[in-house]
Amino acid sequence: MSDSPAPLADPHLLFDTADGRRDLVILGSTGSIGTQAIDLVLRNPDRFRVTALSAAGGRTALLAEQAHLLRVNTVAVADPGAAPALREALRERYGAGEPLPEILAGPDAAATLAASECHTVLNGITGSIGLAPTLAALKAGRTLALANKESLIVGGPLVKALAAPGQIIPVDSEHAALFQALAAGKRADVRKLVVTASGGPFRGRTREELADVTREQALTHPTWAMGPVITINSATLVNKGLEVIEAHLLYDIPFDRIEVVVHPQSYVHSMVEFTDGSTLAQATPPDMGGPIAIGLGWPERVPDAAPAFDWSKASTWEFFPLDTEAFPSVGLARHVGTLGSTAPAVFNAANEECVDAFLAGQLPFNGIMDTVTAVVTEHGTPAPGTPLSLGDVLEAETWARARARELSAKATAEARA
């Protein structure tokens, strides 16, 4: 293990921090991670300054409000058609004579911002469309606070080729927990990583009992408030499978030494077991404020970034093994992670399409993973040592999305026949 390359995310390997306030670019500012990051910034104006924001373009009024509150230089939307509405919303927010921020629009706008002058880029975009901004930030030498796990998963070799040791600070609660626990020891002394899962809304159900799950039931998560795609991924535990791949890539730990355990309370966000038998766990009440603060402020901690436990009150913390029969997603994720190349991109893209089909009432809950498995199987095994390019990733994603839609439509037609 000592001969392995340095991990992408290592608390012992850090870029120099800037003097005074840290300049930030926030991608996906109107989403869950983005809005919470902005709240943290507004509560800590002496620590952070936001220079630019990007969003998809569906919430231009909120984006304009954020831009005005933070006095950013540049605002970007991925949808070119949203630019006029954004400009009008900015004019309504800014007073007469106040200069408006520069507006960028188009699919490359977020990547342009990711390469702009700043200390840290927070990539809070949802989905594999976050890959290009991730690569742009790394190539420009920015510290990357990474909440967009999909970009690392689908473009692992591309990200690893660009990232300097320690350049990525993970923002997922699980990986931020591992990041902090790993700071307590040497990498050579790590026996395994233990990634915790709440179990989602269907913990304890058998595969048969999941057959008639409704959209509303799947969107009701017991501990976290998230967007619809991530919430469904948490219900199928696909999210946990993606996190296993991400942990492998971030910390260079083999898949057979990354374990998933179910922890319904979501208090312990992940653990590191060392070779001497000790296990270090990172724990807070379920809240993303802490992981976001780690991503933006490390190696310094931001006071009161998240709530703390009241240790004077009794509480029960439970841990259970993962039911791999009812939730095969983690096993499939390990498989595609081991295959590497375009296999993780196919897995992720097919899943995104199947989640959309489930939310639209076109696919049953169990059909999500059944269809993803079929697409992954049909994709086959990449040739060992095959170099990966961004074009390869995009081509594999396009094929996987089209094939997942075909299989979903076929399943819908057969169910109605």
Reading the block at residue 23, the tokens are 């300049």
Q: Is 32 annotated as a binding residue?
A: yes
Q: Is 173 annotated as a binding residue?
A: yes
Q: Is 169 annotated as a binding residue?
A: no
Q: Is 33 annotated as a binding residue?
A: yes
- CA 339-245-208 angle, 5° bins: 90
Q: What is the DSSP string of 188-215?
A: GGEEEEEEEE--GGGTT--TGGGTT--H
Q: Is 148 annotated as a binding residue?
A: yes
Q: Is 172 annotated as a binding residue?
A: yes
Q: Is 174 annotated as a binding residue?
A: yes
Q: Is 192 annotated as a binding residue?
A: no
Reading the block at residue 111, the tokens are 């990547």
Can you say how many angstroms the Cα of residue 154 is from the centroid of all Cα atoms in its chain? 12
Q: Is 150 annotated as a binding residue?
A: yes
HSE on the CB side for 338, CA within 13 Å?
A: 11
Q: Is 44 annotated as a binding residue?
A: no
Strands 268-274 and 190-197: antiparallel
Angstrom distance (rounded) from CA 417 to CA 403: 21
- CA 226-336-361 angle, 5° bins: 45
Q: Is 371 annotated as a binding residue?
A: no
**Helix or strand (DSSP H, E) at 361:** none
Q: Is 259 annotated as a binding residue?
A: no
3-class secondary-structure state, position 383? coil
Cα–Cα distances in angstroms (integers) from residue 30 to residues 150, 161, 180, 229, 251, in the given order: 18, 30, 27, 15, 30
Q: Is 227 annotated as a binding residue?
A: yes
Place of tokens 């196919």: 346
Q: Is 366 annotated as a binding residue?
A: no
Q: Is 300 annotated as a binding residue?
A: no
Q: Is 2 annotated as a binding residue?
A: no
Q: Is 124 annotated as a binding residue?
A: no
Q: Is 204 annotated as a binding residue?
A: no
Binding residues: 30-33, 56, 148-150, 172-174, 198, 221, 227, 234, 239-240, 243
Binding residues for NADPH: 30-33, 56, 148, 150, 227
Binding residues for 1-deoxy-D-xylulose 5-phosphate: 149, 173-174, 198, 221, 234, 239-240, 243
Binding residues for Mn(2+): 172, 174, 243
